[in-house]
Structure 1
Amino acid sequence: MSHVPAHRLLLVHAHPDDETIGQGATMARYAAEGRGVTLVTCTGGEMGEVLVPELAHLADDRDGGLGDHRRGELAAAMAELGVTDHRYLGGYGTYRDSGMQWHADGHAVAADETDERAFWNADLTEAADHLVAVIREVRPQVLVTYDQFGGYGHPDHIQAHRVATYAASLAAVTSYRRDLGEAWDVAKIYWGAMSESRMRAGLRALRDAGDTTTFEGMDPDGPLPHFVTADDDLSAGVDGMAFIDRKMAAMRAHATQITLDGPFFALSNNVGDTAWGVEFYRLAKGEVGPVGDDGLEADLFAGVDA
């Protein structure tokens, strides 16, 4: 029999690259520590922007093929993070990137027209059942996904939240779809988060350095978008600073989506890697485990029996 890690983490994300931006350092750290890390990506990211000029033809409104290309980027990113178990919900190609548009209020909303295979149009129970099978197979103590707004309103992020939440609930019901495996109750569910105090400090450093274009329009002392979380609402902060190089390498692997002169690297250049090396979470289910002097759990598995 193959060795089953005592601690197992399942992450449910919408598109390739979401996982690295949000939890890349945590994933790399846990993989290095021998904990189980399983990533489920819900779509191929077919509707993403293409930030590499020579690959512009891959865009959905041109030749297409971006999903296949991003499949390779995801594999390369996971190799950088040391994550060997990564899957697409229902298998690659089951659900398609829904696309999005920007609302006047500055957050994402669904596009006016979506493909019938778009994840936003998925039957919730059908999509959840694909994940129920994974939950019952992997038996994770911890699940990570987005909050109910999907961070910034992207319909696929919202749908990933719904599917993950529903699937975790269904997976725990002994009599539900026995054919999908033996029931498993996920002990702790977290929503990825960004610390308000850190975001403000980062913005201040950028503005002080004369950078007015990164996170344009955001004022270090003004209102911040929904994806920023008040520090009082944070439950955990995982220090992945020792693995920041792996996170940055994984970001570079997602080359069509993340540019070296984009906001993520700009923040690193001005603020230092601490901007992305400590990753924050809100506890959505389960009990808060032991916390440090900062009032936060230092480990998502805090208080979990292996």
Structure 2
Amino acid sequence: MNDQRLLLVHAHPDDESIGQGATMAKYVAEGRQVTLVTCTAGEMGEILVPELEHLAADRDDTLGEHRRGELADAMAALGVTDHRFLGGFGTYRDSGMAWHPDGHAIGDPEVIAKHPNAFWNADLTEAADHLVTIVREVRPQVLVTYDEFGGYGHPDHIQAHRVAMYAAQLAAVPSYRKDLGESWDIPRIYWGAMSESRLRAGLRALREAGDTTTFEGMDPDGPLPRFATSDDNLAAAIDATAYLDQKMAALRAHATQITTDGPFFALSNNVGAEAMGVEFFRIAKGERGELGPHGFETDLFAGLSARPTD
């Protein structure tokens, strides 16, 4: 078992590559163990490849299996060899998504009502127990998941946050479900985040280059969506620009969900590697490590030993 172990909990295939793809590639290259847990197969995702539209939930309903392959290709691009679906593939289904008039995501009530195994319907303790087993096996020093709003309100992101945070608590209790393995207290937990200042700078560069469609409606000098995090609430900035090519390859692997002329590639092309290769985090548990020149941690493992009791 590697001395430094990172566990990430995400809702759907592609979330991991968008949020922490560069960090994952960097840590794998440095010899650290990276484990990804994906909670659903993304069965309700929008399909951007016309010839694959038959995979949709209202037709063949086989998008989840296809995205399973996309995720495998993305993990190969990042070098991640330890990937699991929460409870096993197919245990939990994508809950679907609709848009609230205020501009954030909400659950699709029809999908949630139709599918008892929609992730939003999951029993919290049952779902957490699946993750407790993984936590106690992997014994990570660092856990990364979403904030309490799931970034932008998607119900599966919110549920992934709840499951991850609850599982982290349960896994640390020596008397809890001994059949799930020996207890393990994760010393440091982060929530993935987007820097407000970086987002504004990126939007400004795009607009100055004449691009008015990427992140349409976002004003670099106006109010931003809730997923933009004020820099004073950020704890860590991982500079993985050297691994941007791997992140982009992982994004391309999720072809049904992300196009090469989409916002992530537009940012990379117009703003540069720094916009996509530096990934930010809020700290939710544990002490911050050594700070870099910009006031952020530069390594999620800084100051952590192999065991939290050492």
SS of aligned partner of 2:192: strand
Q: Which residue of 1 aligns with 2:86?
A: 89
Q: Which AA in structure 2 matches 1:19?
A: E
- Does residue 51 of structure 2 align to residue 54 of structure 1? yes
Mean Cα deviation higher: 29-38 or 265-274: 265-274
Inter-partner Cα distance in structure 1 for 2:13 and 2:234: 25
Residue equivalent to 2:162: 162
Distance 1:124 1:189 in 2: 19
SS at match of 1:127: helix
Secondary structure at the aligned position of 1:38 is classed as strand
User: What does residue 191 of structure 2 align with?
Assistant: 191
> 2:300, 2:148 → 1: CA distance?
20
Question: What TM-score does the superposition give when structure 2 sets the normalisation length?
Answer: 0.97
Residue 122 (structure 2) pairs with residue 102 (structure 1): no
Identity %: 77
* Alignment partner, residue 35 of structure 2: 38
Q: Report the Cα offset of residue 303 of structure 1.
A: 1.4
User: Counterparts of 1:64 and 1:90 in 2: how far apart (Å)?
Assistant: 20
Compute the displacement of 1:112 (Å).
1.8
Cα distance in 1 for partners of 2:261, 2:246 equals 18
State the partner residue of 2:259.
Answer: 259
- TM-score (norm. length: structure 1): 0.98
Determine the C-alpha separation between the residues in 2 that align with 1:29 and 1:91: 27
The alignment partner of 1:159 has SS state of helix
C-alpha distance in 1, partners of 2:293/2:36?
31
Q: Return the letter of the residue paired with 2:70.
A: E
Cα offset for 1:61? 1.4
> Who is 1:63 aligned against?
60
- Return the offset for 1:164: 0.1
Matched, 1:12 2:17: no
Q: Shift of the alpha carbon at 1:10?
A: 0.1
Cα deviation for residue 274 of structure 1 reads: 1.3
Q: What's the CA shift for 1:293? A: 1.4
Gaps of 5+ in 2: none
Q: Determine the C-alpha separation between the residues in 2 that align with 1:43 and 1:273.
A: 30
Distance 1:303 1:236 in 2: 13
Unpaired segments of 5 or more residues in structure 1?
none
Paired residue secondary structure (2:201): helix
How many Å apart are 1:63 and its aligned residue? Answer: 1.5
Aligned length: 303
Query: Which whole-Å CA distance do the structure 1 matches of 2:90 and 2:136 have between them?
Result: 22
Q: CA RMSD in A?
A: 0.5
